[in-house]
Amino acid sequence: MKFSVMVNEGPYNHQASDSAYHFTKAVLQAGHEVFRVFFYHDGVNNGTRLTTPPQDDRNVVARWSELAVEHKVDLVVCVAAAQRRGIADADEAKRNGKNADNIAEGFRISGLGQLIEAGIVSDRLVEFGD
């Protein structure tokens, strides 16, 4: 079965990101395919490399990055939601006159078309958070 996941909440203010991560990992371990994880609304905060949790806390962003690299999972951050929250890759930063980027490894910025495509090509689109 082919799954896509939508994450609407940030990494430390809601259980949604943790639940989405564990669900995605379980899907992969069960032998299913994850087509895409789409981060929307405050969920885009999962994609900033500037998150620095205390050493005794889980590093949610690093977990997503490792999952993307290990399993070739497409992690897409919504461009409009990212711009509102100060998250940019090198291209977006340059296009908007910013002097830095902060996208985490394994993540990429794109538009809502990526979410629509995920819903079309996947057997299930599972949403976490409001």
- Given the residues 44, 78, 81, 125, select the one marked as catalytic: 78
Instruction: Specify the pTM.
Output: 0.96
> How many of the other CB atoms lie within 10 Å of CB of 92?
17
Indicate the helix (H) or strand (E) that contains 33. Answer: strand 33-39
Burial class from Cβ neighbours inside 10 Å (0-12, 13-18, 19+) for residue 4 reads: buried
Rounded average pLDDT over 42-69:
96
Rounded average pLDDT over 34-60:
96
| pLDDT band at residue 78 using 50, 70 and 90 as cut-offs | very high
Per cent of the chain over pLDDT 90 is 98
CATH topology of domain 2-128: Hypothetical Protein Ychn; Chain: A, (3.40.1260)
Domain ranges within the chain, ordered by starting residue? 2-128
- Judge whether 67 counts as a catalytic residue: no
